[in-house]
Structure 1
Amino acid sequence: MTLQVKDIKKSFGKGTSETTVLKGINFEVNDGEFVILNGASGSGKTTLLTILGGLLSQDSGDIVYNDEPLYSVKNKPADLRLNEIGFIFQSSHLVPYLKVKAQLTTIGKEAGMSKKDAEQRAEMLLSQIGLAHRLNVFPHMLSGGEKQRVAIMRAFMNNPKIILADEPTASLDAKRATEVIEMIKSQIQNKKMIGIMITHDKRLFDYADRVIELDDGVIVNS
């Protein structure tokens, strides 16, 4: 299956204050493929990723997955983000009153997992990323890097078909960033997910199947 981005355009403001951020974006990503979006600040990367995640609507153009519109009356953005799309933000956005394991199990149970299955999967994912010893602590007891690793594993909790990540390694040191990207790529390949990530860290480009470069709202290299 393929995610097709067809002539996506987006502007903000009106009249003389209107700014066109995306000027007709076209590309495809296949199952099992890991793509990096790169470009200078203001090039439109985050706007594009936010549209792909259903958090923002495009002005025109289509996003098609499995030969159907990704978002429609049948496919509501909120439902897709719970069941089909994993979104990793630059900030962790953990729930302050939930312990680490509960950050993941809550998502699993909301999507229909049994309590036992949700707990087993949460423990497995957190162990994979080196946090087995932090299952029962609250977010304020974690370092910035630990919080981000929890957020990354939360995005994989429901076996999503599409992973979208906005600078997910920005708060991690070089060694941990490499470990996390290797894990993300492995999950995408093994589970035949579609992965799209924004990063400025050129050391991570080698892990991508392709790097798509944006400049002033258009793709200049892919």
Structure 2
Amino acid sequence: MSLQIEHLKKHFGQGESETQVLKDLNFDVKEGEFVVLTGASGSGKTTLLTILGGLLSQSSGDILYNDQPLFDQSKASAVRLHEIGFIFQESHLVPYLTVEEQLVTVGREAGMSKGDAQKRARQLLDEIGLSHRLKVYPNSLSGGEKQRVAIMRAFMNHPKIILADEPTASLDASRATDVVEMIRDYIHDMNMVGIMITHDQRLFDYADRVIYLEDGQLVSDK
């Protein structure tokens, strides 16, 4: 059981203006595995994560989940909604929704009943120590609280794959460690595939593997 990336390539432009961003990437991430993706700016990390999330198409190559294509044109949006959880550098909470509503809205969009969505939202928020903040709006939350809400929102729809793009960049060292531990533990416990972009080498120890990209190519996987 794994996410498989096979001969993945991505270019932008054509002819003399063509730029090769990803160059024949091959690797897999097993269920229950938390992988850090790192490399210099411009190495292709965010492009890769965007393709894996179904928000951008590859130029060639395959993305498989358990030996089956993860996306096709007819079901890409459904896969993004039901199978993939995104965590971004900023929390991107909706300012006019309470903490509970941030999660419930995702559950409802994924097809849960209102009661089931509320039950799961409260369970997740209780697990991260925010059950006392259910009715609070984002402007009353600290930076760390906002990011914890965003993480639980990503887990709300029982995703198979978690994709995180610099989720700790706006946090101090202590909060960054707490956030990454939380992400890692959920991926391990729920047997998900987890990929996180970070430049913070202090966080590498929390990953099962660290993949280095350089100029669109995989140069190290250990």
Which secondary structure state, in structure 1, belongs to the residue aligned with residue 182 of structure 2? helix
In 1, Cα distance between the equivalents of 2:215 and 2:130?
39
Provide the aligned length of Structure 1 versus Structure 2.
221
Q: Deviations over 1:185-209 (max 9, x none)?
A: 1111111100011011111111111
* Range 37-46 or range 119-128, more displaced: 119-128
In 2, Cα distance between the equivalents of 1:26 and 1:119?
40
1:49 aligns to 2:49 (yes or no): yes
Task: Note the C-alpha offset of 1:129.
Answer: 2.5
In 2, Cα distance between the equivalents of 1:85 and 1:134?
26
In 2, Cα distance between the equivalents of 1:186 and 1:62?
29
In 2, Cα distance between the equivalents of 1:130 and 1:41?
35
* Range 166-175 or range 129-138, more displaced: 129-138
Matches within 5 A, 1:95-134: 95-134=94-133
Match of 1:161 in 2: 160
Which secondary structure state, in structure 2, belongs to the residue aligned with residue 56 of structure 1? coil
Task: Note the C-alpha offset of 1:163.
Answer: 0.4
Gaps of 5+ in 1: none
Which secondary structure state, in structure 1, belongs to the residue aligned with residue 164 of structure 2? strand
Matches within 5 A, 1:1-222: 1-73=1-73, 76-222=75-221
Contact conserved, 1:105 with 1:122, CA < 8 A, in 2?
yes
Gaps of 5+ in 2: none
Q: Deviations over 1:17-58 (max 9, x none)?
A: 221110111101111011100100000000000000000000
Identity %: 70
Contact conserved, 1:148 with 1:171, CA < 8 A, in 2?
no
TM-score normalized by the length of structure 1: 0.94
Which consecutive segments of 4 or more residues in structure 1 shift more than 3 A? none
Task: Note the C-alpha offset of 1:174.
Answer: 1.5
In 1, Cα distance between the equivalents of 2:199 and 2:129?
25
* Range 135-144 or range 43-52, more displaced: 135-144
**One-letter identity of the residue aligned with 1:178:** T
Q: Deviations over 1:103-143 (max 9, x none)?
A: 10111122222222211211222232232232212223323
Task: Note the C-alpha offset of 1:73.
Answer: 4.2
TM-score normalized by the length of structure 2: 0.94
In 1, Cα distance between the equivalents of 2:24 and 2:49?
14
Contact conserved, 1:43 with 1:215, CA < 8 A, in 2?
yes
In 1, Cα distance between the equivalents of 2:10 and 2:206?
29
In 1, Cα distance between the equivalents of 2:38 and 2:144?
22
Which secondary structure state, in structure 1, belongs to the residue aligned with residue 112 of structure 2? coil
**One-letter identity of the residue aligned with 1:65:** Y
Which secondary structure state, in structure 2, belongs to the residue aligned with residue 21 of structure 1? strand
